[in-house]
Every structure is written in structure tokens, then in C-alpha cells.
Amino acid sequence: MAILLKQFQSLPVALLGGTAAVSLATGGLAEAVVIAAVVGINASAASLSGKDPYRIDRVGTYAARYAAKNVVAAELARECEILLTYCIGMARPVSVQVETFGTGRIPDAEIAALVRRRFEFRLAGIVQQSNLRRLPAPVKGGFFRKLAAYGQVGRMDVGLPWEVTDRAALLREQAAGRGPG
């Protein structure tokens, strides 16, 4: 049985189900990911810490988080998961999928179309928009060290740009048909 589990993936990657599942991307054991799938929680087999901070699988995860938080803040859904699929040699994701688990006020496909139009998912654009090249400088104690030790998401103590919901009003207006397309 093949299951796509990655909230963010740099290539289409399938995990083979079973007690000793193997990630086709890394060759490593992925039992925890399969267990997460069985209980209904999507997860990624990849770790964000330890990767170059400018790799698309790292910053793409940040961009997906940023977009999903704005969808929820815009009250387009109570829950939102965004799946970005990238292929080598292509700057933009080949697929942007949205799953609201039945909590969306409008269809998931319409939310996905809004997200595609209003969020930057190219590597250079994400790095520039998130200010990732300059962001580490003002954080004492090492920006990436703090992310590795205390988590990459859900934190307000470091000023993470992917935790900001500054596009919620725009998404809400556009979903209502009032904003510019």
C-alpha cells in the first residue's frame, strides 16, 4: 500500500506501509510516520533541523505553514493542511493542495486557488519574503540553534515570519468576492 504522507515534499515520495516501512527518499526506517498515518495524523519523514536553512524542503515547509495559518486566521477553515510538491529543476511547486478536513467554509479547491495566487512558493521568493538571510542576526543565542532546540513552528518568542497572519484579511475579502483577483 502506498501512502503519501508528507505535509511538504521536495519530490513525490511514497512510503511503503508495514511494520518496517522504508522511506523511498532516504532509505531509512519510517515506522513512526506509518504509525502516525494509522492514527490519522499526517507527518513528514524529514527533519527540518540540521538542513541548510535555504533548502526548499525546509523553507517550503515554512511557506506552507504561513499559508495554512493565514487560511485559518481568515476563517476560511478551522483546520488547514497544505501540501506542496516540488520537482527538481522547477522553481514553483508542481502541485499545491489544500485539505481542510471538512471544516472549510468554501471548497478546498477554491482555497487552494487563493493560496496559489496570494503566496510565494518559489525558493528565492520564500527566502526574501521571510527575510531568512537577515533574520538570524538580531536573535541572540543563535536563531537556527533556538529553532533546533525548541521547535520550528508555533513559537512567538523568536518572531518567526511563518507564524504571522498578515494575509488573512486579503484572503477573507477575496473569498467573499470583494477583493482584487
Q: What is the pLDDT of residues 62-107, one digit of tens each?
A: 899 999 999 999 999 999 999 998 888 888 999 999 999 999 999 9
Strand partners, 23: 15
- Tell me the percentage of the chain whose pLDDT exceeds 90: 38
As given in the structure block, the three cell numbers for residue 32 are: 513512526
The residue behind cell 519574503 is 129
Quote the crossing angle between the two packed helices 56-73 and 108-118, to the nearest 10°: 120
Mean pLDDT, all residues of the chain: 74
pTM of the model: 0.72
Interval 27-67: pLDDT, tens: 333 333 333 333 344 555 556 666 667 788 888 888 999 99
Q: Supply the pLDDT for residue 55.
A: 83
Q: Encode 165-179: b = buried (16+ Cβ within 10 Å), e = exposed.
A: eebbeebbebbeeee
Domains of the chain with bracketed CATH: 2-38 (no CATH), 56-175 (3.30.300.10)
pLDDT of the residue at 5: 35
Give 87-138 as a 3 state SS string. Answer: CCCCCCCCEEEEECCCCECCCHHHHHHHHHHHCCCCHHHHHHHHCCCCCCCC
State the pairing for strand pair 81-85/8-9.
parallel
Q: In what order do the strands lie in the sheet with 81-85?
A: 8-9, 81-85, 95-99
